[in-house]
Structure 1
């Protein structure tokens, strides 16, 4: 059986991240101007991917922005998720994808996203072992977190425009948990 048929597929959308240590897992996403960072620890056999819409900063998030849109937040969540699964920071390696300029009249947020991811990883001392950013087409990305293998497919113009429309929608936020505790006086 080929590796594609045997794969356990995990799809993420903007604002999400996933970590896996299953050799049959493949994490996928579709990117326009968004960026996905794929990190792994080859010794621990664990890896993961995030998908962020904007580079962001602590100031942008505290001003009422949804933290799940921002790279700074999702990079930290991904790294912490890997560490919880046994990865060591000094063994992490990264691949980054996305950051296309999908609409000519818009500012190039894709370029800003890619620059942010590159600088963040450099600042954290995490080597980038592969990268495919920029261009004017979206891409479908598949990442095997244990092996570090990545594969991307360019999207057609119509597929890219559909991806742009999805990226402009609000990020899904999980409902707040209902407090079921009862306090007696």
Structure 2
């Protein structure tokens, strides 16, 4: 879910999330066979906003993911990343998805963690499945469906009869 970090339990499992402008970073250590995923809404608080980094921000969730993996035996120098999401879902609005993707890629470069796979940007949502033991991912774009045009509801005309209110 948005604002969460999960590191695999060591048992076979698949982590899944759905993304729009959010980013999911899937990290894994192929030697320790440990991996995890985060899902963040925004890159980092706006400078001067007075907001402290929390679970909505990548700056917090990226550090948390790395630290939790290290407590489960992961070694930062062996970690590899997959980055997904960052779609710009609404034309004409701020391109939050692009900013989120730039942040994630920059953060990983600064930490020395190589990006093995990425699927970011565009204007569609994504569903991501991640195997934290093997470090395998599957990313599927969610088709955009256009809602049908609303049809006016017509009320039948009533003739005659009386209405009694209680």
TM-score in terms of structure 1 length? 0.74
1:113 paired residue among 85, 94, 100:
100
Q: Offset of 1:95 from its aligned partner? A: 0.5
How many angstroms apart in 2 are the aligned matches of 1:115 and 1:133?
Answer: 9
Structure 2's unaligned 5+ residue stretches are: 147-166
Q: 1:73 aligns with which of 60, 64, 67?
A: 60
Q: Deviations over 1:123-159 (max 9, x none)?
A: 0000000000011100111000111110012112249
Aligned match for 2:75, one of 74, 79, 88: 88
Contact 1:47–1:148 (8 Å) recurs in 2: yes
From 8, 18, 22, give the equivalent of 2:6.
18
How far apart are the structure 1 equivalents of 2:136 and 2:51?
A: 37
Quick one: distance in 2 between partners of 1:36 and 1:47?
13
Partner of 1:136: 123
Contact 1:23 1:145 in 2 (8 A): no
**Counterparts of 1:57 and 1:92, CA distance in 2:** 26
Moved over 3 A (4+): 57-60
2:17–2:129: 8 Å Cα contact kept in structure 1? yes
CA distance in 1, matches of 2:107, 2:53: 20
Contact 2:45/2:52 (8 A) holds in 1: no
2:18 pairs, out of 30, 36, 40, with: 30
Structure (1 or 2) with the greater helix fraction: 1
Question: 3-state DSSP class of the match of 2:59?
Answer: helix
Mapped to 2, the partners of 1:99 and 1:126 lie a distance apart of: 19
**What displacement does 1:14 show?**
0.7
Question: Does the Cα contact within 8 Å between 2:21 and 2:89 map onto a contact in 1?
Answer: yes
Residue aligned with 1:77, SS? helix
Give the drift of 1:48.
0.2
